[in-house]
């Protein structure tokens, strides 16, 4: 195993092992079969070895999910697994069980996922108009609707202010920029949506 690979997921693995040892979360998440061998088993899995302790606790499953998803990104983007995980861990500021999930790290070949070589290509192809998933209006802000469209009826009606980062998330785009090793969710760029429709017709 390279030092770079081990370092890239070291913080994540440390957090997983800490949870397994301390059992400070809900009892349903505890692993009664935890031993010091779990650390080595998870390291081996990250290194590409076909190993499995046979016990499907939520902590270990999440670690494997992260490694598998990083492999998906690496294969599709031509970027090393180390760089993918390092980028995720640099951005992670909260609990890994909440941070690592489908809406934050979708498969690269999933619907509404777009890959760009650099920021210039992203800006050129996305344009400056974005479709709010709530009111379907055109917003110039990709994260907070400023379309001016009224949602709600009567006295309850108000200008839409839907947020791409709110609790309810749907019909968003995921934009990944290879040069930055970063991806993010935002409203669907109108230009990309129009292009998708043209290809579908």
pLDDT of the residue at 4: 56
Q: Are the CB atoms for 82 and 177 separated by under 8 Å?
A: no
Q: Using CB atoms within 10 A of its CB, is residue 171 exposed (0-12), middle (13-18) or buried (19+)?
A: middle
The strand pair at 182-189 and 130-131 is best described as antiparallel
What is the dihedral angle through the alpha carbons of 65, 67, 70, 72, rounded to the nearest 10 degrees? -70
Q: Can you give the pLDDT at residue 3?
A: 56
**Beta-strand runs (E) in the chain:** 113-116, 130-131, 138-139, 150-151, 158-159, 172-177, 182-189
Torsion region of 48: left, alpha or beta (phi above 0 gives left; psi -120 to 50 gives alpha):
left
Q: Tell me, what's the pLDDT at 88?
A: 95
pLDDT at 5: 56
Structure tokens at 8: 């890239």
Calpha distance 25→6 (Å, rounded) = 26
Separation CA 128–CA 122 (nearest Å): 11
Cα separation, 96 vs 199, whole angstroms: 37
What's the CA gap between 143 and 132, in Å, rounded? 9
Tens of pLDDT along the chain (201 residues)? 455 555 778 889 899 988 888 887 887 777 888 888 888 888 888 888 888 877 778 888 999 999 999 999 999 999 999 999 999 999 999 999 999 999 999 999 999 999 999 999 999 999 999 999 999 999 999 999 999 999 988 778 899 999 999 888 899 999 999 999 999 999 999 999 998 877 766
Q: Rounded to whole angstroms, how far apart are CA atoms 115 and 142? A: 17
Closest CA to 91 of 166, 184, 197: 184
């Amino acid at each position: 195993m390279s030092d770079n690979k081990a370092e890239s997921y070291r913080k994540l693995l440390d957090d997983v092992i800490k949870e397994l040892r301390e059992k400070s979360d809900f009892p349903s998440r505890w692993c009664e079969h935890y031993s010091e061998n779990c650390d080595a088993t998870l390291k081996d899995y990250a290194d590409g070895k076909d190993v499995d302790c046979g016990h499907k606790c939520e902590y270990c499953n999440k670690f494997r999910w992260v490694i598998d998803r990083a492999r998906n990104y690496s294969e599709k983007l031509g970027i090393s697994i180390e760089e993918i995980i390092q980028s995720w861990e640099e951005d992670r500021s909260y609990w890994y069980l909440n941070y690592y999930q489908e809406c934050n790290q979708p498969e690269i070949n999933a619907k509404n996922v777009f890959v760009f070589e650099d920021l210039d290509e992203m800006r050129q192809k996305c344009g400056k108009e974005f479709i709010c998933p709530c009111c379907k209006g055109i917003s110039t802000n990709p994260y907070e609707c400023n379309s001016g469209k009224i949602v709600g009826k009567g006295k309850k009606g108000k200008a839409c202010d839907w947020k791409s980062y709110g609790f309810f998330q749907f019909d968003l785009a995921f934009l990944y920029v290879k040069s930055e090793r970063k991806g993010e969710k935002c409203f669907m760029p109108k230009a990309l949506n129009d292009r998708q429709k043209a290809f579908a017709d």
